[in-house]
């Protein structure tokens, strides 16, 4: 009796094709659903504008529409969901019209033939959450980033709750903040990867009265996917406790990553206390070693980040050279930041 033939590569290839096709089907269904809800909202608004639905009984009309649609089509047409469709159209109609006009100007599409579905990249649940964000600039940023990075709804909520927009806005040039709403986070230089603070609430360390640097490192590795989400775009994990030996003495880098966007190594050193000038000097040695011994000719210069519980801005500023573009220090927080406080700082800046 002949043995069965197992072609693992063929199986993996076919499996990936099937999974990819299923994802595309789900994505297409989501886009069609969102576009349909946009059109439903449009129809309700048009009815109001024609004077057929007056304020004194608009609620009754909405309830009647919800009852009849639910009876025929089932879930998804509650009064609150229909109200969200109306708000969705009112919020995104100007955006769709603007994008249609831009496409018409470039000759890519006639404004009259542009379909709303071509502008919506997220699920209805994502848009329900985005509608709660009143600031148009902030909402645009999260919409772009969620689509670019394929964030789940849970990931979108986490990034919003961690005040990602405010943290990036505070770390960039003030005249470039508006680009966050139109382009999302653009990674062009090392500084674009740095956040202040880095939020690590998912580690659960705020519940512990005391923890060591090794505890912090292990907690990060246990939640590596969440940590990579917080770090940002293009990061891949390389090693932990990477050993460097110089003249018989051993040194260890806590975490080593590689960033595919900037094409460079990204070294992370963890400090549970305040940063000292010796910590910066040690990171400088690590960065120099990687640049001279590990970096390939086509790769960019290595970046070093010291994550510390607290830091002295003066120590960092005077230890590093004025033209520094490789060594950075950021505070980390084990609890979610105060969004309102960050917004106040942004307005004051």
What is the reported pTM? 0.81
Task: State the pairing for strand pair 198-199/235-246.
Answer: unpaired
Q: In whole numbers, what is the pLDDT of the chain averaged over residues? A: 86
Are the beta carbons of 303 and 339 closer than 8 angstroms? no
| Distance in angstroms (rounded) separating the CA atoms of residues 120 and 44 | 20
Are the beta carbons of 189 and 202 closer than 8 angstroms? no
Nearest to 123 by CA among 229, 25, 22, 32: 32
**Tens digits of per-residue pLDDT, 281-325?**
999 999 999 999 999 999 999 999 999 988 888 888 888 888 899
3-state helix, strand, coil in the chain (%, to 5): 60, 15, 25
Element (H, E) at 45: helix 8-49
Q: Residue 199 pLDDT > 60, yes or no?
A: yes
In DSSP notation, 265-313 reads EEEEEEEEEE--HHHHHHHHHHHHHIIIII--TTSPPPEEEEEEEE--H
Are the beta carbons of 88 and 37 closer than 8 angstroms? yes
pLDDT-based confidence at residue 266 (cuts at 50, 70, 90):
very high
Which percentage of the chain shows pLDDT scores above 70?
A: 88
Q: Count Cβ atoms within 10 A of the Cβ of residue 140 and give its class: 0-12 exposed, 13-18 middle, 19 or more buried.
A: buried
According to the model, what pLDDT value does residue 22 have?
Answer: 79
| Distance in angstroms (rounded) separating the CA atoms of residues 304 and 296 | 17
| Distance in angstroms (rounded) separating the CA atoms of residues 40 and 20 | 30
**Tens digits of per-residue pLDDT, 136-182?**
989 999 999 999 998 999 999 999 999 999 988 887 766 667 778 78
């Amino acid at each position: 009796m002949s043995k069965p033939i197992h072609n693992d590569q063929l199986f993996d290839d076919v499996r990936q094709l099937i999974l990819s096709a299923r994802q595309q089907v789900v994505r297409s269904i989501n886009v069609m659903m969102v576009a349909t809800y946009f059109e439903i909202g449009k129809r309700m608004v048009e009815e109001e504008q024609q004077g057929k639905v007056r304020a004194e009984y608009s609620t009754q009309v909405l309830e009647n529409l919800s009852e009849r649609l639910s009876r025929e089509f089932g879930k998804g047409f509650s009064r609150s969901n229909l109200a969200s469709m109306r708000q969705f159209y009112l919020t995104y109609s100007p955006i769709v019209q603007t994008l249609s006009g831009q496409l018409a100007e470039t000759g890519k599409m006639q404004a009259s033939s542009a379909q709303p579905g071509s502008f919506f990249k997220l699920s209805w649940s994502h848009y329900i959450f985005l509608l709660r964000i009143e600031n148009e600039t902030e909402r645009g940023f999260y919409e772009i980033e969620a689509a670019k990075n394929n964030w789940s709804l849970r990931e979108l909520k986490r990034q919003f709750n961690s005040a990602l927009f405010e943290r990036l806005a505070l770390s960039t040039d003030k005249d470039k903040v508006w680009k966050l709403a139109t382009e999302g986070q653009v990674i062009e230089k090392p500084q674009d990867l740095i956040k202040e603070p880095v939020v690590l609430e998912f580690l659960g360390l705020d519940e512990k009265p005391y923890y060591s640097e090794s505890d912090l490192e292990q907690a990060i590795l246990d939640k590596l996917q969440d940590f990579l989400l917080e770090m940002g775009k293009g990061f891949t994990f390389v090693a932990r406790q990477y050993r460097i030996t110089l003249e018989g003495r051993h040194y260890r880098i806590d975490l080593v990553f590689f960033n595919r966007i900037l094409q460079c190594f990204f070294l992370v050193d963890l400090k549970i206390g305040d940063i000292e000038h010796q910590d910066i000097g040690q990171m400088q040695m690590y960065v120099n070693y990687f640049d001279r011994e590990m970096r390939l000719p086509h790769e960019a210069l290595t970046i070093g980040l010291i994550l510390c519980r607290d830091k002295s801005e003066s120590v960092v500023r005077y230890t590093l050279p004025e033209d520094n573009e490789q060594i950075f220090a950021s505070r980390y927080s084990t609890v979610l930041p105060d969004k309102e406080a960050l917004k106040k700082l942004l307005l004051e800046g």
